[in-house]
A and B are shown apart, each in its own frame.
Chain A
Amino acid sequence: MFKLSDEGVAYVKKELERYETKRSAIIPCLYRVQSENGGWVSPESINYLSELMDLPVAWINEVFHFYTMFNKEPVGKLHVQVCNNITCCMLGARELTEHISKTFEMGIDELSKDGKITLSKVECLGSCDTAPMMQINDSYHENLTPESAVKIIKDMVHGN
């Protein structure tokens, strides 16, 4: 059974106080659940959150499904999200994605063989001036070339 840590519970309680309606607190609380649940939000954890926040489970599910930043399936330790929107694509994001996919032998939204990496295509991440770019977990990596992107990922896999 999924449960938030004590700090996590305290965080949810605080967020609930923060807004005029409880519904507004759903996004930060879902983020918290995602980070404590190893990078994705399970149906079970949505049920848990619904009870904790005392909100209908359908309302939480609506928010959860609307935003792509909440992962519906388990992801690897490194979640590589390559921007595939206009600016990045004009500067080679498709080829970049293809290259990463080939190098690590994994498809889109699939786990790599060693189970450590998930590769996703995402929409504009608001960093067009430094396109092409990708986000790995919480950090941005910008002005990429296929080589630099692969190097960054490899370094991170090896723990730097």
Chain B
Amino acid sequence: MPKLTLNGKEIEVPAGSTIIEAYKQLDEPIAHYCWHPGLSIAGVCRLCVVEIEGNPRLQIACNTQIQEGMVVNNNSEKVKTAVKWGLDFHLINHPLDCPICDQAGECELQNQYMEFGKYDPEMAEPKVKKRKVVDLGERVVLDTERCILCSRCVRFTNEVSKTNELGIFNRGDRSEVGTFEDKPLNNKYSVNTVDICPVGALTSKDFRFKQRVWYLKNKPSICTGCSTGCNVNVYYNEEGVFRVKPHYNKEVNGYWMCDEGRDIYKHINRKSRMLRGRYKQNGVWCTTQALEVAKKAGQKLSSFKGEEIAVLVTGQYTNEELNSLVDYSVNKLGSKSVFHWKNNENNWQDFDGHLIRGDKNPNTKGLQGVLQKYAVGGEWKELENQLSKFKAVVVAGPENQSVYFDIKEKIESLKSLECVVWFTAGENSNFEKLSDNSYLIPQKTSVEKNGHFTNHQGLTQKVEEVTTILPEALNLEETVSLMLGNSLDLSIRDKQEMGVLKTNYFSQERGSL
């Protein structure tokens, strides 16, 4: 491993590293736009310049390999001046419309200006005007005059999504990023270009103008969109979750995630949730707290014999939850009739070669493990064929209903049973069809609980509570415990008001602008 000196500090780096990688390893600040660890090197922004001892000219750190004994710095006056005026060049034709730009607050032009710039602009020339609000299809909007031509997005479509839609057209100060004839950028990974765009040139249609980023907090989590289990950051505030972005994990998703995975927050937010628990008696639905419904359901289930009860499970719960449910079924209810409900069986095995899988559950492997442990488990078909054998069914339904196209059919088939207990995070109008003695128990979503998911490759990843969207909702372990007749201290949660949408408390803390 070669050794070198960076800004006076000795450091050892893997052979073949570039100077910028050494800076990153040391966690020393270095200006840069075009370099991205997940893409090839372009060397076009010229901001990462460093001074190498014995070298008369400044060189770019992203495209210079480390040599044994190099002495490098980026804190000399010479480098600082170069970076400062380099930044001014980047801003020559930049519209500086930060007040109406969605990137403000997480913009590299703003950040780097504050860190390395702070000059008084010396450009008096009128700016070159370019096209704004160019519609690039379903998910992305382009503002060509904000673009600083770093080419990250172009390299992304060439190297990662391999769809090659983007290019830089024209030349000099007229250069414009775009697609041929503004064709839509409808590849399945398109929003990654929004993430890597250092400025507000590419913005997400879904997120645009929904929330200023400084009113959002974020915490890491796991995408529940499919069995790949991409690592993500969830951005949220008191109003709910606003977006999901990828979080680097070399083993799983690298720097990226798919577009569909970004939509998972939609079924997490209140709008699509089952807000209160309910059960049906004498033809009427009674609405009450989730925990009350769980208790009632537990009592009802205990009136059936083990062989009269079937359990239907989706891979949408954590290992801990699934374990408690299956244990409850086998050891408490005395039923070994546990069945696995899969989303769309036909494309269950699909894989697009990059990240997206047909198995749209975060924890299929985990579920299979639990079923194996208790020596139970069958397919839906088997349950369907012997449905008349059963009087009651317990369903751990999907959190993400949008990928379970057969949810209506399942409700139709199961409503003939004497008793249906359904755990669900989301609301669904088809639940109304269920007959007497049906119990609907609101569940937490993946961002509201702690536990583990095991992805398709058998890697077990932790999810930690990010925020609470519905204080009343339970996780499966809590539900099972309540069904067993235990009491649960939910007093803290109960205090929070339910059913009322909170206003953005951050907006009240804004102060004078």
Q: Is A19 an interface residue (CB 8 A)?
A: no
Q: Given the complex, which residues of B lie within 8 Å of A59, measured CB to CB?
A: 164, 167
What string of 1s and 0s marks CB contacts (under 8 Å) between B482-509 and chain A? 0000000000000000000000000000
Q: Which residues of A contact B164 (CB under 8 A)?
A: 56, 58-59
Q: Which residues from A are CB-within-8-Å of B170?
A: 65-66
Residues of B within 8 A of A66 (CB): 169-171
Contact A61 B171 (CB under 8 A): no
> A147: CB under 8 A from chain B?
no
CB pair B171–A58 under 8 Å, yes or no, is no
A46 at interface (Cβ–Cβ under 8 A)?
A: yes
User: What residues of A have a CB within 8 angstroms of the CB of B165 in the complex?
Assistant: 56, 58
Selected contact of A65 from candidates B166, B169, B179, B183, CB within 8 Å: B169
Q: Is B352 an interface residue (CB 8 A)?
A: no
Asked whether A16 is an interface residue with its Cβ less than 8 Å from the other chain, the reply is: no
A73: interface (CB < 8 Å): no
Q: Which of B131-184 contact A (CB under 8 A)?
A: 164-171, 179-181, 183
Number of A interface residues at 8 Å Cβ cutoff, please give it. 11
Number of B residues with CB within 8 Å of any CB on chain A: 12
Expressed in whole angstroms, the Cα–Cα distance for A154 and B426 within the complex equals 78
Interface string of A44-83 (1 = CB under 8 A from B): 0011000000001111011001100000000000000000
The reply to whether A46 and B180 form a contact with Cβ atoms under 8 Å apart is yes
Q: Which residue of B lies closest to A65 (CB)?
A: B169
Contact call A62/B167, Cβ cutoff below 8 A: yes
> What residues of B have a CB within 8 angstroms of the CB of A65 in the complex?
169-171
Q: Is A28 at the interface (CB under 8 A from chain B)?
A: no
Chain B residues with CB below 8 A from A38, complex form: none
A43 on the interface (CB 8 Å rule)?
yes
What per-residue 1/0 map shows which CB atoms of B52-83 lie under 8 Å from chain A?
00000000000000000000000000000000
Closest-CB distance, A83 to chain B (whole angstroms): 18
- Complex: A62 Cα to B176 Cα, angstroms: 10
CA distance A62 to B158 in the complex (A): 14
Residue of A nearest to B158 (CB): A56
Q: Do A62 and B169 touch (CB < 8 A)? A: yes
A residues in contact with B180, CB < 8 Å: 43, 46-47, 57-58, 61
Q: Which residues of A contact B168 (CB under 8 A)?
A: 62
Residues of B close to A57: CB separation below 8 A: 180, 183
Give the complex CA separation of A11 and B396 in angstroms. 64
CB-CB under 8 A from B181, the residues of chain A are 43
A66 — nearest CB in chain B belongs to which residue?
A: B171
Task: Kindly list chain B residues whose C-beta atoms are within 8 Å of the C-beta of A62.
Answer: 167-169
Q: How far is the CB of B487 from chain A (nearest CB, A)?
A: 63
Instruction: Give the docked Cα–Cα distance between A61 and B178 (Å).
Output: 10
Q: How far is the CA of A61 from the CA of B180 in the complex (A)?
A: 7
Interface positions, chain B 176-227, Cβ under 8 Å from A, are 179-181, 183
CB distance from B274 to the nearest CB of A (A): 46
Smallest beta-carbon distance A49→chain B, Å: 11
Contacts of B179 in A (CB 8 A): 58
The answer for the CA separation of A43 and B180 in the assembled complex, in Å, is: 9
On chain B, the residues within 8 Å of A46 by CB distance are: 180
When chains A and B are docked, how far (Å) is the Cα of A65 from the Cα of B167?
10
Q: Nearest B residue to A44 by beta-carbon distance?
A: B181
Q: Give CA–CA (A43, B164) in the complex, Å.
A: 17
Complex alpha-carbon distance, A65 and B181, angstroms: 12
Closest Cβ of chain A to B372, distance in Å, is: 47
Separation of A47 and B167 alpha carbons in the complex (Å): 15
- Taking each of A56, A58, A61, A65, which has the highest tally of chain B beta carbons within 10 Å of its own beta carbon? A58
A-B contact pairs, 13 of them (CB 8 A): A43-B181, A46-B180, A47-B180, A57-B180, A58-B165, A58-B167, A59-B164, A59-B167, A62-B167, A62-B168, A65-B170, A66-B169, A66-B170
Known: A58-B164, A59-B167, A66-B169. 19 other contacts (CB 8 A): A43-B180, A46-B180, A47-B180, A56-B164, A57-B180, A58-B165, A58-B167, A58-B179, A58-B180, A59-B164, A61-B167, A61-B169, A61-B180, A62-B167, A62-B168, A62-B169, A65-B169, A65-B170, A66-B171
* Pairs of residues from A and B, 3 with the lowest C-beta to C-beta distance, nearest first: A56-B164, A58-B167, A65-B169
